[in-house]
Amino acid sequence: MSVQNQLKMHDISIQFSGFSALSHVNFALIGGTTHALTGANGAGKSTLMAVLAGTHGHYQGQISINNQHIAVTTPRQARQHGVHLVQQEVDVALVPGLSVAENIMLDQLAEAGFYHSWSKIRQQAHDALSQLGVTLNVEQSVDRCSLAEKQHILLARALTHECRFLILDEPTAPLDQHESERLFDVVRHLKTRGIGIVFISHRLNEIRDICDHVTILRDGKLIDSGRMADFTDALIVEKMLGHRIEDIYPPRRILEKADPLLQIAGLHDDQLLHDISFTLHRGEILGFAGLAGAGKTELCKALFGAASSRVQSAYLNGQRWHPHSPADSVRNGIALIPEERRKEGIFIEESITTNLSVVDDRDFSAFGIFNFRAAREWAQTLMQRLKVKATHSEQSLHHLSGGNQQKVAIGKWLKGQSDVVILDEPTKGVDIRTKADLFRLIENLAHEGKGIIYASGDFSELVGLCHRICILFDGRIVAEISGNDAKEELLLLYSTGGTPA
Ligand SMILES: Nc1ncnc2c1ncn2[C@@H]1O[C@H](COP(=O)(O)OP(=O)(O)OP(=O)(O)O)[C@@H](O)[C@H]1O
Ligand SMILES: [Mg+2]
């Protein structure tokens, strides 16, 4: 029986250009246990774990392992103490163009004096993956991997070292229900090996499933910490937000006269989508449910003209139309809020104002001159409406927390005159308060007469929000259920290829 390692962070504070992101936070992690770290967007979760992983050398406070004080000011030092981080945005930690094996063995390859034997590298990468119960061609390029696979690569990378403490920053945000279950099995297995695991997530049911302890942060401060069993969901939410929250879904509005807005018949693409037909009405929130790989993202992109497709017939506002190109879609009043926001939805180095005004800069330009003041005012209004946590509207997105970047990605489409708004997994990584705000915004857009397409793998959201839900399985619509009759279990059944008995 191995000894239980104990990690302690004591009185941790950190500032960024005068902004205090953490103040006097304590945190303890015991080997062989799972510890949930939760809090609203921008609460400081990622920052606290980045300190532990050696990314921010300029913190104040102490870190100790087994009561021995340790210096952690570089990622390398953290790794030497057995601390490994799987980041929130997996792409940032991977090197595009390199193979799966090279990405898994990246730290070793970067060490001076490491003897490169390619067959050994491939073997070690393969072994690390099999510890996770994953089979993946280690010679293929990482660019071809799905998000779930990329996450396995980062987990495998941690396992190629002597890993004592593992931090998973929102690991399930890009995963569907099945993939998440598999990850939980891996986490449970690593726990039995004596590894202490920090699990960051906004989904309370998940952290309840797999975590022994919970710590709640708010505005960079420690609010509470204790045994998971001693906290109800309502109590956690209250501690996260500082107040209670009632229903997160707006009341379901009855669709009165439903004018067709977008009619699609027989849409196909070359890979996955097959004979997709549906009608979206004005004022309607139409859900598309499905697991990863079912075709939700492909459908959203095809409808927006960002991926090629063929349709037998399509009408937009009663006019013949077919998806053609994103520019054409935007001109015709269709907006897409894409899933992989960091790659497609935002300009990470640009300011919040630029990001929010870039969609429709006609609104901010007259005679070829860009009106910064109008753009900034609009950005500030939106930041208030979505409660974007930032020091000011000129801050670059780079330093915003993950959830706050997502709010900007969504916000930038709310100004446009689009009739059809397509949202692909918009609530990934956003906290419960923001979710409630977003649902209200979406409901308002629908109420104004827009049509909303809402694609999600989170079935409780679809049930709470949508008038109608189409279920995708293997690129086809296999069922359509009215929002009133929808139940999560039924959506799960259809989306795994089943049918009710
Ligand atoms: N390098 C940085 N420069 C400036 N501000 C930063 C930096 N890193 C973090 N912050 C700020 O610190 C605060 C905490 O951010 P952090 O990413 O830790 O939040 P989080 O709890 O992980 O939120 P989310 O749930 O959205 O991921 C945010 O207001 C963020 O903008
Ligand atoms: Mg974060």
Fold agreement between 6-247 and 257-495: yes
The full set of domain ranges for the chain reads 6-247, 257-495
Structure confidence at residue 341 (pLDDT): 62
Structure confidence at residue 270 (pLDDT): 87
Q: Whose CA is nearest to atom 7 of ligand 1?
A: 399
Best residue among 9, 47, 167 to mutate for probing ligand 1, ranked by most atoms within 8 Å of CB: 47
At 236, list the tokens: 């956690």
CB contact at 8 A, 394 and 329:
no
Residue from 454, 435, 478 nearest 250 by CA: 435
Q: Are strands 369-370 and 365-366 parallel, antiparallel or unpaired?
A: antiparallel
Q: Whose CA is nearest to atom 24 of ligand 1?
A: 41
Token pair 């590894």: residue: 195
- Report the separation in Å between the CA atom of 220 and the middle of ligand 1, taken as the mean of its atom positions: 9
For the chain, the farthest-separated pair of C-alpha atoms sits apart, in whole angstroms, at 75
Structure confidence at residue 114 (pLDDT): 67
* Ligand minimally distant from the alpha carbon of residue 21: 1
- Report the separation in Å between the CA atom of 407 and the middle of ligand 1, taken as the mean of its atom positions: 14
- Report the separation in Å between the CA atom of 169 and the middle of ligand 2, taken as the mean of its atom positions: 7
- Report the separation in Å between the CA atom of 44 and the middle of ligand 2, taken as the mean of its atom positions: 7
Q: Are strands 260-268 and 310-316 parallel, antiparallel or unpaired?
A: antiparallel
Structure confidence at residue 340 (pLDDT): 66
Sheet of 68-70, strands arranged across: 19-30, 6-16, 60-65, 68-70
Q: Whose CA is nearest to atom 16 of ligand 1?
A: 44
At 198, list the tokens: 């920090």
Q: Whose CA is nearest to atom 19 of ligand 1?
A: 42
Structure confidence at residue 381 (pLDDT): 82
At 436, list the tokens: 């409630």
Residue from 317, 303, 318 nearest 268 by CA: 303
Structure confidence at residue 360 (pLDDT): 55
Helix (H) or strand (E) holding 188: helix 177-192
Structure confidence at residue 139 (pLDDT): 94
Q: pLDDT tens digits for 127-148?
A: 999 988 888 999 999 999 888 8
Q: Whose CA is nearest to atom 17 of ligand 1?
A: 401
Structure confidence at residue 405 (pLDDT): 85
Domain 257-495: give its CATH architecture. 3-Layer(aba) Sandwich (3.40)
Q: Which atom of ligand 1 is nearest to the CA of 429?
A: 25
- Ligand 2 is an ion; its neighbours by CB within 5 Å are 46, 88, 401-402
Best residue among 201, 217, 401 to mutate for probing ligand 1, ranked by most atoms within 8 Å of CB: 401
At 2, list the tokens: 């191995």
* Ligand minimally distant from the alpha carbon of residue 220: 1
Q: Which atom of ligand 1 is nearest to the CA of 170?
A: 27
Q: Which atom of ligand 1 is nearest to the CA of 404?
A: 26
Sheet of 319-320, strands arranged across: 276-281, 260-268, 310-316, 319-320
Q: Tell me the CATH number for domain 6-247.
A: 3.40.50.300
* Ligand minimally distant from the alpha carbon of residue 402: 1
Q: Output b/e per residue, 30-39; b: 16+ Cβ within 10 A.
A: bbbbbbbbbb
Residue 4 phi/psi, 5° resolution? -85, 120
CB contact at 8 A, 87 and 153:
no
Q: Which atom of ligand 1 is nearest to the CA of 43?
A: 21
The pLDDT tens digits along the chain (501 residues) read 457 899 999 999 999 988 999 999 999 999 999 999 999 989 999 999 999 999 999 999 999 999 999 999 999 999 999 999 998 778 888 999 999 999 999 988 887 776 778 888 999 999 999 988 888 999 999 999 888 889 899 999 998 988 999 999 998 887 888 888 888 998 998 999 999 999 999 888 899 999 999 999 999 999 999 999 999 998 999 999 888 877 889 988 888 778 999 999 999 998 899 999 999 999 999 999 998 889 999 999 999 999 999 999 999 999 999 998 988 998 899 988 887 666 666 777 788 888 777 665 455 555 556 567 777 887 888 788 778 888 888 888 888 888 888 888 877 777 667 899 999 998 887 888 888 888 988 998 899 899 999 999 999 999 999 999 999 999 999 999 999 999 988 998 999 888 887
Residue from 454, 448, 443, 469 nearest 421 by CA: 454
Q: What residues are paired with 469 via a beta bridge?
A: 287, 481
- Report the separation in Å between the CA atom of 229 and the middle of ligand 1, taken as the mean of its atom positions: 28
- Report the separation in Å between the CA atom of 402 and the middle of ligand 2, taken as the mean of its atom positions: 5
Q: What residues are paired with 170 via a beta bridge?
A: none
CB contact at 8 A, 139 and 99:
yes
Q: Whose CA is nearest to atom 31 of ligand 1?
A: 400
Q: Which atom of ligand 1 is nearest to the CA of 40?
A: 25
Q: pLDDT tens digits for 68-101?
A: 999 999 999 999 999 999 987 788 889 999 999 9
CB contact at 8 A, 152 and 296:
no
- Report the separation in Å between the CA atom of 403 and the middle of ligand 1, taken as the mean of its atom positions: 9
Q: Kindly list the distances between the CA atom of residue 444 and the CA atoms of 2, 250, 252, 280, 284, in Å, as whole numbers in the listed order.
A: 56, 10, 12, 17, 11
- Report the separation in Å between the CA atom of 341 and the middle of ligand 2, taken as the mean of its atom positions: 15
- Report the separation in Å between the CA atom of 430 and the middle of ligand 1, taken as the mean of its atom positions: 13
> How many C-beta neighbours within 10 Å does residue 224 have?
15
Q: What residues are paired with 9 via a beta bridge?
A: 27, 63
Name every protein residue with a CB atom under 6 angstroms from any ligand 1 atom: 16, 19, 21, 39, 41-47, 88, 389, 399-404
* Ligand minimally distant from the alpha carbon of residue 169: 2
Helix (H) or strand (E) holding 189: helix 177-192
